[in-house]
Structure 1
């Protein structure tokens, strides 16, 4: 006998325009052309990081930037977008919140809500457009073999989404049932048909106007054919509050993105760079599994394991020198997942930059984009 389940299909949602959002994009955005903050003690490790990125790109190795939502909420999207356009960063990876804030800033020019107040009255995350457009975008994207990040980037870049007709999907499913073949998109077709019938989605092309598409890092990545992958957890993000949310849709999209991420990790080789900014759990946990996948496949090709240079930026004060290995389990530093896990995935010494991500990313931008003025 199965356990009782809450009827989440009964959740009431409101237009996102009714939400009192904390920040306008114009209030937080950082101009990439502005002088960066004083780097202080971080100046040397940031310079070393920039040099390793140059080495990686000269070797055509990956430069992967993993980040949490605060990179977006701190207005660093345009700074990172510059680095993407110029080819300094070859892969972006974030969690579900990172792409949600990115999309909300693009859609309505503002994001972030009062969690304490809105949880109390049941309105936290219960915003129609954020959940509904994520669902329709991912369901149609997966059908085309696109993952979470690419689908959202395409939505913003193209300003809308194409939904095939229910009859087309039924015909595809019927044909497959009569002559089944290996086709991982067939489940996506069933998901999409279910979503159309559940949510009364319009079929064909739907315009989805974005007030500030230039604010979207996902759209920049899509336009530049730079992978942006999203690595969510079911229930972690506000999109799962929506009554139409289907875990299978998010799971299929995230599954594609994990494989895309594994490819970029494989492409790190011996010269690549991994940068983790404000991602205490997602980045180290996903990276260590992707590194294992990459090394497994590399061993079958008789190729050496990856040996990337890894730089981690967070606010936690540094109490242990990770260049000398792990601390004992009796030391609290042992339980800093974003340092321990990364340190276990490369033979290179781990570089930890304890400080504000705006200081790190803006100074890194200057060193890479304007080396003559550095």
Structure 2
């Protein structure tokens, strides 16, 4: 038996019908210049970034940072669409920093975002134990959140504001709110940046309170939708990021983009970069943010990972990329 195996191993390939080629002639996906290298303790962040493999998600992270940096340098918009989870996991200061630097030029959020943004600014904490409170019928029934946010919406809409600006102005100017610096909405209002809120009625805890006014909520959200469509009309050469929204923002983005293309004079808003960031892959984000709107596969970037890790990494990579472009870095 051993003798038979040895004969098979040394047989002429032509006898077995095997067709082969030289390894040098083969197209390969991984080359030695793309592989990573160990990070040395005490190094700088750009050294860590450059130590990552130039493969798959690491390459996409660099590409996302480069696209955002390029848009910023060229004076093009970078619109951050987001769910509430990024606020709940503590990355508001990182988002605000990018707003203050003029890198994020506008925001589009869902209705739950105003809840967590307000509670952090007002109380210094947020995110209740849903399962425990739901069993008691007390989930989402905090009086301050229900009364103050609904009142701010009604008053703001009466003044002709959309939901985003109504909430931002309220948090910024209400003397009872002590942690204004942590509020994305207040800082956007202070900086004069557009921020929109897109609501599905019944999805947010403040809709359970008697102060909720469907007319005001709907009118304010519709104003914000039209504002977002206007912003997207100028998206050519820019970037749209979907951060942690599985349904609302992907659906709103697709409709706003369509409305923008329908009403935009001249071009069809094709050459922009769409970036999706979430901790799992969701259908609507994949289809409505990346596939359907994209001009080419190169303009769609998908970064899967926890928000509290991936977005700070991206923000830091943007800063390093801009520093390098200015000749003050690696």
Give TM class, smaller chain.
Answer: 0.7 to 0.9
Structure 1 residue aligned with 2:3: none
- Alignment of 1:346 onto 2:294: yes
Moved over 6 A (4+): none
Aligned residues of 1:103 and 1:216 also touching (Cα < 8 A): yes
TM-score by length of 1: 0.69
Show CA shifts across 1:170-212 (max 9, x none).
xxxxxxxxxxxxxxxxxxxxxxxxxxxxxxxxxxxxxx50131
Among 299, 310, 316, the alignment partner of 2:280 is: 316
Give the drift of 1:358: 2.5
- Alignment of 1:58 onto 2:73: yes
Structure 1 residue aligned with 2:33: none
Give the drift of 1:373: 5.5
Structure 2 residue aligned with 1:358: 308
Aligned residues of 1:266 and 1:306 also touching (Cα < 8 A): no
Structure 2 residue aligned with 1:330: none
Structure-1 separation of matches of 2:189 and 2:215: 23
Structure 1 residue aligned with 2:261: 295
How many residues in Structure 1 have an aligned counterpart in Structure 2?
A: 272
Please give the residue correspondences for 1:123-272 in structure 2 after superposition, counting only pairs within 5 Å. 123-159=138-174, 208-269=175-236, 271-272=237-238
Structure 1 residue aligned with 2:284: 337
Show CA shifts across 1:309-337 (max 9, x none).
111111226xxxxxxxxxxxxxxxxx711
Aligned residues of 2:79 and 2:106 also touching (Cα < 8 A): yes
Show CA shifts across 1:133-152 (max 9, x none).
11221112112221111111
Give the drift of 1:303: 2.8
Structure 2 residue aligned with 1:117: 132
- Alignment of 1:284 onto 2:250: yes
Show CA shifts across 1:66-89 (max 9, x none).
111110011100001010011101
Give the drift of 1:35: 6.7
Structure-1 separation of matches of 2:70 and 2:188: 22
Show CA shifts across 1:246-282 (max 9, x none).
111111111111111111111102x110111111111
Show CA shifts across 1:214-242 (max 9, x none).
11111111111111111111000000111
Structure 1 residue aligned with 2:119: 104
Structure-2 separation of matches of 1:135 and 1:315: 31
Q: Which of 361-370 and 351-360 deviates more?
A: 361-370
Structure 2 residue aligned with 1:202: none
Aligned residues of 1:291 and 1:306 also touching (Cα < 8 A): no
Aligned residues of 1:137 and 1:152 also touching (Cα < 8 A): yes
SS at match of 1:111: coil
Structure-2 separation of matches of 1:61 and 1:50: 14
Show CA shifts across 1:21-49 (max 9, x none).
xxxxxxxxxxxxx979x776643212211
Aligned residues of 1:309 and 1:348 also touching (Cα < 8 A): no
Aligned residues of 1:150 and 1:229 also touching (Cα < 8 A): yes
Structure-2 separation of matches of 1:87 and 1:96: 24
Among 84, 88, 96, the alignment partner of 2:99 is: 84
Aligned residues of 2:154 and 2:213 also touching (Cα < 8 A): no
Gaps of 5+ in 1: 1-33, 160-207, 318-334
Aligned residues of 2:86 and 2:243 also touching (Cα < 8 A): yes
